[in-house]
């Protein structure tokens, strides 16, 4: 599901709200999650999961084509850990 599909689904479930308002709400939530992660904060949505930032230190990599060593700089990557409720919903059929 992409963001526009999420907005459409929420609009269909809440006909008393304007689609542009729903889009603004979704954008505000996603922007706040992104801003919090940029500050290095962890964002936890109970029952859904937690977003955090993981540091990958600088290292020496290897170019797969030539085999020569390449310096790879330090970087921060987003990480998501699914919550218990989501994991249970995903694995309900395999139980």
pLDDT tens track for 16-25:
999 999 999 9
Confidence of residue 92 (pLDDT cuts 50, 70, 90): confident
User: pLDDT tens, 55-79?
Assistant: 999 999 999 999 999 999 999 999 9
**Closest to 77 in 3D by CA, of 38, 50, 36:** 38
| Residue length of the chain | 95
Q: How far apart are CA 35 and CA 37, in angstroms?
A: 5
The secondary structure of residue 2, as a DSSP letter, is: -
Within 8 A by CB and 6+ apart from 6, the residues are: 26
If we measure between CA atoms, which residue out of 37, 35, 16, 17 comes closest to residue 25?
17
6-56: per-residue pLDDT in tens?
999 999 999 999 999 999 999 999 999 999 999 999 999 998 999 999 999
Cβ neighbors of 70 (< 8 A, separation 6 or more) are: 60, 61, 62, 63
Q: How sure is the predictor about 85, in pLDDT bands with cuts at 50, 70 and 90?
A: very high
């Amino acid at each position: 599901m992409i963001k526009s599909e999420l907005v459409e689904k929420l609009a269909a479930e809440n006909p008393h709200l304007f689609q542009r308002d729903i889009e603004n709400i979704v954008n505000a939530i996603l922007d706040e999650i992104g801003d919090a992660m940029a500050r290095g904060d962890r964002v936890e949505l109970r029952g859904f999961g937690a977003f955090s930032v993981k540091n990958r230190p600088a290292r020496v990599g290897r170019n797969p084509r030539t085999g020569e060593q390449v310096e790879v700089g330090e970087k921060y990557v987003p990480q998501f850990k699914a919550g218990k409720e989501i994991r249970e919903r995903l694995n309900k059929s395999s139980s």
